[in-house]
Structure 1
Amino acid sequence: MTDARARERAPVAVAPRGVRLEWIDAARGYSVAAVVLAHVVLWHAADPGVPVADVGASLWDRVYSVLGSVRMPVLLAVSGLVVAGRVRAGFRAGGLTVRVARNYYLYVVWLLIYAVFYAVVREPGLPHRVDGPLDVLRQLVVPGTTLWYVFALAVYIAVLGALYRAPAWAVLGGLAVLSVVTATFTTSDQVWSKVPELAVFFAIGVYGSGVLRRLAERASVPLAFAAAFVAAGVTALGRFTAGHDVAGAVLSLARGTAFLVVAVLVVVLAVRWNPVRRLGLALGRQTLPIYVLHPLWIALLIVAAGSVGHDVEAAVLGSTLGAILYPAVVGSVVVALCLAVGTGVRRVGLQVPLFAMPARWSQAFERADARTAEPHER
């Protein structure tokens, strides 16, 4: 390895294994909580089948719009930041084969679990269904559920690891163009399109890890307000892009980046308060159970509401206070249920295979990485 190459990679070196800045875990935790809240609003609270008080409906419509600019850009960028050093070292030195395999393994396991779940819970209107063997086979390569994120991590690590010799500006520029093209020519119901459209945010975490860490180190209230002002200004430009698909896609990319900066600053400042820090860490260290389980709990909620709960929902959502609080309360309950299941899985010894690849499989992939390592990388 040349001195120039070593200097180029120095800023993205990650902390020793097991040591991580707390704000990173907290950012992951609050991002995945935002994912849950957004899905509660989108799949249930936005159309619960009963009248909703206007104030509550308007509030959550705005909240959902903001969450759309925050939740996945932040979650993907932080996911990229965590593996930045390894991805930029390439497949051999970074040991990426096992990381790609682990993510795809989890995707397949939970795709099968979703298929079994929806074979039992047969309500046709449920979001992100997996229906039968043919649908499973199709989704092995074309994700159609919220599990696309788990699938995408495998793809992103593989692609960026293969491109580790390419200049960062070229990769980021290419992915930005891919994002705009994908957003322009696909629709929101094509779930697979999120993989290419949002890849640039994972890459921002990989190639901009040093920038994000320095931003976190310099976090202050004035800087957070300044970043929020910029993000609001970028959002306001949306009035000029209505009806222009390409301009709207470019603005969406800029808005996601702006809100990523805001989110990093806000989380860093917020975790200085112990209750926020502890909650963020608790969520951030259990993101996988929350992410993969929450659609199933929301589906059960929708089924229960449709069969026995309309009168209760009508009473709650018809009041201003109820309509304002309902999505947040439901989202919190869903997160708690996911954490409870995750804890139960660990206690009964099912962490493997549900949330981790069997050790012997991981070791086999690690040996494959070791065998292909170049002599100077061993």
Structure 2
Amino acid sequence: MIAVVVFHVLIWVHDPVFGTETAAGPVLSRVNALLGTLRMPVLFALAGILASPSLIRGGDARKALSRSVSSYYLYVVWLLIYLLLFLLVGTPGSPHYFDSLNGFLTQLVVPDTTLWFIFALAVYIPVVLAARAIRLPPPVLLVLAVVVWFVLQSEGDGSLLERCAEHFVFFASGVFGAAALRRAAAAPLWLAGLFSAVFLALMALRTTDIGAQNEALEFMSSLASIPAMAAVAHQVCRIAPVARAAGFIGARTLPVYVLHPVVIVCILAFGRQEALGPFVDSFVVDALYPLVLSAVIIVVCLTAENLLARIPGNPLFALPESVRRRILGPRRQDTTATRRRGRAPLDAGAGAAGG
């Protein structure tokens, strides 16, 4: 999740305000390319791992359906909040701007904001359940997902709806490869280094003339990022303070994900980032700026979540209890304490997905 926030700070704040030719511009561009490759595949794979127990054969289909409904409910709630935000403080230059009821209604089925991730989770789960119902072998589903990825890469228009279809392969990899990915996450240091080296080598190849437009190389680098990031995160989290901070933020993936665009839109509307222009001539200041601003945004999101989660029923971060009970039935009620904190929704596929 931290990677997602940093990526959006770079493309929505730093580059539009200061340009890409700042002191640290070339380095930040490479960082951006790295984040662009790994952030969503890793998030979707982790979402798949978390959803795996209820999606694999023998899992509780009702619990999986509850996760799907929860995701779509939250998608609609936050899409409405985004509409209100854009009407109040947004401008046509705001990220993913829309300002009409027609735009809202269209996006109920055709996502065009950062909420596409939550929309995708709502759709993926029924797809996997349908494949399970017709006894489609997981390898066949994975092959079909890979084919969809390549077809859309070569023939698609790059819309966020298409990205939902493209990224299904990473979610499915998490669902059906959960055990292997968990082992990769717990890999020893040397193996974590090997995973990382493979990923970085593939990324380096993509900067060459041969690899720049190579779709197979792009797919392999995105796929390689999943075990690499899982293993690196495991090693880094051996440091106790880092583990506590990552766990704290990871458990609040949903609030940070839905709130950070709100904070960024407000910064663009009310902030005076241009005043920092002279300072980005310093490499150190320019390099640290996206990290510091991202940290501030995350703190604001966590503070806002702490306040908003106190609304009775927690409607901004959780499916209404009555609906959840109706889906799960009388016998299988999941009463985890995390719901009270507003962390259940991205448990609809991505609870700690950005830790």
Which TM-score tier does this pair reach, normalised by the shorter chain?
0.7 to 0.9
Q: 1:193 Cα deviation (Å)? A: 1.7
Distance 1:304 1:93, change over 3 A: closer
- 2:163 counterpart (194, 199, 204): 194
Larger Rg: 1
Distance 1:263 1:242, change over 3 A: closer
- Contact 1:103 1:150 (8 Å CA) reproduced: yes
> For residue 351 of structure 2, what is the aligned residue in structure 1?
none
1:236 is the counterpart of 2:198: no
1:133 is the counterpart of 2:123: no
Pairs within 5 Å for 1:322-337: 322-337=285-300
Aligned partner of 2:317: which letter?
A: F
Aligned partner of 2:150: which letter?
A: V
- Contact 2:90 2:265 (8 Å CA) reproduced: no
Percent identity of paired positions between Structure 1 and Structure 2: 33
Aligned partner of 1:256: which letter?
A: S
> For residue 78 of structure 2, what is the aligned residue in structure 1?
110
| CA RMSD between the two structures | 2.0
- Contact 1:88 1:94 (8 Å CA) reproduced: no
> For residue 166 of structure 1, what is the aligned residue in structure 2?
136
Structure 2 runs not aligned, ≥5 long: 333-355
Instruction: List per-residue Cα deviations over 1:71-114 (Å, max 9, x = no partner).
Output: 11111111100110211137864532222111100000000000
Q: 1:344 Cα deviation (Å)? A: 0.8
> For residue 235 of structure 2, what is the aligned residue in structure 1?
269
Instruction: List per-residue Cα deviations over 1:139-159 (Å, max 9, x = no partner).
Output: 000000000000000111110
Pairs within 5 Å for 1:253-292: 253-292=219-258
Q: 1:355 Cα deviation (Å)? A: 0.3
> For residue 5 of structure 1, what is the aligned residue in structure 2?
none
**SS where residue 90 of structure 2 aligns?**
coil
- 1:99 counterpart (57, 67, 83): 67
The CA distance in 2 between the partners of 1:80 and 1:268, in whole Å, is 18
- Contact 2:24 2:287 (8 Å CA) reproduced: yes
- Contact 2:96 2:112 (8 Å CA) reproduced: yes
Q: 1:356 Cα deviation (Å)? A: 0.4
The CA distance in 2 between the partners of 1:108 and 1:213, in whole Å, is 32
Distance 1:303 1:262, change over 3 A: same
The CA distance in 2 between the partners of 1:368 and 1:145, in whole Å, is 36
Q: 1:191 Cα deviation (Å)? A: 1.9
Relative to its length, the structure with more helix (as a share) is: 1
**SS where residue 55 of structure 1 aligns?**
coil
Q: 1:51 Cα deviation (Å)? A: 6.0
Q: 1:186 Cα deviation (Å)? A: 2.6
> For residue 353 of structure 2, what is the aligned residue in structure 1?
none
TM-score (norm 2): 0.87
> For residue 14 of structure 1, what is the aligned residue in structure 2?
none
Q: 1:345 Cα deviation (Å)? A: 1.2
The CA distance in 2 between the partners of 1:369 and 1:68, in whole Å, is 43
The CA distance in 1 between the partners of 2:233 and 2:211, in whole Å, is 32
> For residue 344 of structure 1, what is the aligned residue in structure 2?
307
Structure 1 runs not aligned, ≥5 long: 1-31, 371-378
The CA distance in 2 between the partners of 1:166 and 1:283, in whole Å, is 37
Aligned partner of 2:292: which letter?
A: V
- 2:325 counterpart (350, 354, 363): 363
TM-score (norm 1): 0.82
Count residues with an aligned counterpart: 329
Aligned partner of 1:106: which letter?
A: L
The CA distance in 2 between the partners of 1:51 and 1:137, in whole Å, is 34
